[in-house]
Amino acid sequence: MSNKEPRHRSNYKDIAVLALVPAIVAGLIVVSWALAHWKIGPTFVNAALAIIATVFGGFQRFIAGFKDIARRKITVNVFVAVALIATLAVGEFRPAAIIVVIMAVAGALESYTLDKTRKSIRDLLDFSPKMATTRRQGQDVEVPVAELQVGDLVLVKPGARIPVDGVVTAGASSVNQAPITGESMPVEKGVGSNVFSGTLNESGRLEIRTETVGENTTLARIVHLVQEAQGTRAPIQNLADRFTTWFLPAVVLLALLAFALSGDVHTAVSVLLVACPCAFAIATPTAVTAGVSNMARRAVLIKGGSFLELAHKINHLLVDKTGTFTFGKPALVEIISLNGFSSDDILQLAAIAEKHSEHPLGRSILAAGRARNLDIPDPEHFNSTTGMGVEVQWNAAKILVGKPDFLREAGVPLAAPVEEALHQQAAQGRTAVLVAHNGQPIGVLAIADQIRPEIPATIRALKRMGIQRITMLTGDHPQVAAAVAKAIGVDDFQAGMLPEDKQAFVKKLQADGQIVGMIGDGINDAPALAQADVGIAMGAAGTDVAIETADVTLMTDDISRVVDFMWMSATVLRRIKLNIFFSMIYNVIGLTLGVLGMMTPIIAVLFQEAGCVTVVFSSTLLLWAKMRRMPA
């Protein structure tokens, strides 16, 4: 049996249960009508069948309504209970039963539709395999995933899904991480790489040391987060609560007015029925649920409807620099030639010198040399001065790579053109590394943390969406911050900031009455993320502190998804207002026709339930809503 068969059977069972009550009530109504139509048996028998159908189908509504009355709350269930009791009281037994079956069908449709919006989240659980191959006492054995423990070695073949969060200890492969990060392309994994439960091992065999299992895996936390978010209320939902509090007394007065004008109690009952605010009650939760599910499919996790409502109101956005606007890794960005050496010759000599270095700048130089497919043999002699530079012998030449002071102390003369080149790189916020060959400077390597290519376009898109000011926060030097800020187009920056400084800056803006959003990596930015009105953690797959601290979590390093989130926030709010408008229109028209005596109880319910169907359909469309990319 496949893993999906039990889930499919469960879905069919749920659908059958939802359809069961309307089917039984409808059957009782048909029998009651047949007995009355052909005058079979006493009249009270067909009336009793209709009453049984009403009580059976509307039992939960009655109980919920009475409980709400006991709690002194006026809700949709109170409306329904009052309307049904009034319908039965005037002797409309079969119409009351028909009302119940219509409401039951509408309720089943609503439940099924809302369940479909959650299906994308529940289906994430299907990505996690139930069995795993682990090595125990030198043997490869297959065990249930639930029995795995932290530290176990798990073996994953090509084409199989990874059952745990862990670290690769042997092997190499391409892994499809779409369920976790939403990345469309597979990611190369090797020794030391982190992998996540539910992702697909596409090509090579991997050996993985287990870090987390079960409910602690990133996949399980994602499912829990989104399910929790779908159960939270957006502040705009309070409008529905306030509305129902005064609406029922107003409707009762209208029903009395209709009775006074028409002298027909059935007209008054029709007014009660057509006014049931079911559509109004579901206007917000259905839209919020669909919006959260839509974003979850794009690996954007939203903790609750309140953040969907608040996001489009952000007027000051703060963004951490390192790892958010930039890759967070030094890279060679320019080679300045001195004394006639070519850029490849300069880079080759520097890479040879740095081949055995562990310094991040040295590794970036070596990576650049390998990217150009340069020949990089081992140096004949290697000597490193911590924090300053390296000195090597190679091919009968002495090579120095490091800071200007390191070369000066070694007796290398730095003429005016060299000093000018160093000054220009510093002005751009870059780190300048000098290369000397046999006592003469031959080149300058400019190294910087590279800006993510999508950042400038994302900044422009965010500003077009109404964010008034974007400020970059960083612990880096002012010169570096200024260069990055100018390149990406933010309004201003704050440099040399510690985590507590970032949090204090958020507080200051909030004290000035601004709605503050904060984007960071979820670790050193945790205080600011927690303080902000909307905290957004970026690239947080597998990061506990990010998922726990932030209000919104981007599972990848693609900051452009913030634009999608902001757009969805505005879209959901517009859809909620549209849903409320639809429900109000149905109520206004229905009440008008009801007061004028132009509705029967059955027509009133059909009209009212049409409003519910319209709202559910309107919200469901959000599941497939997608932002049209604006030109850069």
Residue predicted with more confidence, 605 or 68: 68
Quick one: pLDDT at residue 375? 93
CB 88 within 8 A of CB 51: yes
State yes or no: pLDDT of 179 exceeds 70: no
pLDDT at 369: 94
Distance CA 441, CA 143 (A): 62
Contact predicate 502/527, CB 8 Å? yes
**Cα distance between residue 93 and residue 36, in whole Å:** 12
- The pLDDT tens digits for 553-565 are 888 888 889 999 9
Query: Can you tell me which residue has the tokens 């409910």?
Result: 215
380-403 b/e with 16+ CB inside 10 Å = b?
eebebeeeebbbbebeeeebbbbb
End-to-end CA distance of the chain: 50
- Cα(494)–Cα(442) distance, integer angstroms: 36
622 versus 303: the higher-pLDDT residue is 622
5 pLDDT band (50/70/90 cuts)?
A: very low
Determine the pLDDT at residue 510.
Answer: 93
Tell me: the pLDDT tens digits for 577-604? Answer: 899 898 889 989 999 999 888 988 878 8
State the pLDDT at residue 550. 80
User: Which CATH code fits 129-214?
Assistant: 2.70.150.10
Beta bridge partners of 392: 382, 399
Choice among 68, 152, 165, 320 that is catalytic: 320
What confidence tier does 6 reach under pLDDT thresholds 50, 70, 90?
A: very low
Angle separating helix axes 278-297 and 93-122, nearest 10 degrees: 10
Return the closest-CA partner of residue 608 out of 267, 282, 278. Answer: 278
Domain boundaries, the chain: 4-121+227-290+569-624, 129-214, 312-326+453-562, 328-450
Of 155-164, 187-196, 269-278, the poorest mean pLDDT is in 269-278
Per-residue pLDDT reduced to its tens digit, 604-620: 878 877 888 888 889 88
User: 338 CB contacts (<8 Å, ≥6 apart)?
Assistant: 417, 418, 421, 441, 442, 443, 444
Domain at 328-450: CATH code: 3.40.1110.10
Residues in the chain: 632
Distance (Å, rounded) from C-alpha 13 to C-alpha 115?
13
The architecture (CATH level 2) of 312-326+453-562 comes to 3-Layer(aba) Sandwich (3.40)
CA distance 584 to 577: 10
User: Can 375 be counted among the known catalytic residues?
Assistant: no
Task: Dump pLDDT digits (tens) for 189-206.
Answer: 999 999 988 888 988 899
User: What would the two tokens of residue 300 be?
Assistant: 């954007």
How far CA 370 is from CA of 323, 363, 437, 467, in Å, comes to: 24, 11, 20, 42
